[in-house]
Amino acid sequence: MKQEYIDYAKEISVIGDQTQVAANLFGELSKKKAKSIEELKAIVEDYKVAKNGFVKCKENLEKIAPPKVIIEEHTELVNTYNKLIESVEIHLTALNLNDGSVDFDLISKGFKLNATAIKEVGEVTDKIVTVFQNN
């Protein structure tokens, strides 16, 4: 395998690890049940941390100059992070700190979008591997 492919894969691996941290936090938050406005505020802050994790990963991806053979796939990968970020934003919108209410329809929409984005990250990564193997 070409050295530029190996170097790219190493950079992507680091971002993948960072993504997993944010995704794990997002998943853990789904198990939390707020019993008060203060607990809801803490959950909102944790969602903000998860969102910032996805934003940082996207920014790091945008800094990488991908090999020419995967420019399209790399762009697609970057774009999947918009969905990850949006999924967290949906959750933040669903949590009303004024009255402590939760819009469970929005929560469901956020989880579905997150699951779709995670799946797409895997699919794009698989495409990149295939391109590397064939070049």
pLDDT tens string, the chain, 135 residues long: the values are 799 999 999 999 999 999 988 888 877 777 777 778 888 888 889 899 999 999 999 999 999 999 999 999 999 999 999 999 999 999 999 998 888 888 999 999 999 999 999 999 999 999 999 999 998
pLDDT of 20-59, one tens digit each?
Answer: 888 888 777 777 777 788 888 888 898 999 999 999 999 9
pTM reported for the whole predicted model: 0.89
Determine contact, residues 69/135, Cβ cutoff 8 Å: yes
| Terminal C-alpha separation, the chain | 8
Distance of CA 9 to the CA centre of its chain: 18
Strands (DSSP E) found in the chain: none
What pLDDT is stored for residue 61 in this prediction?
Answer: 96
Contacts of 124 (CB under 8 A, 6+ apart): 73, 76, 77, 80
What pLDDT is stored for residue 18 in this prediction?
Answer: 92
Q: List the domain range (segments joined by +) for residue 13.
A: 3-134
What pLDDT is stored for residue 4 in this prediction?
Answer: 94
Domains identified in the chain, total number: 1
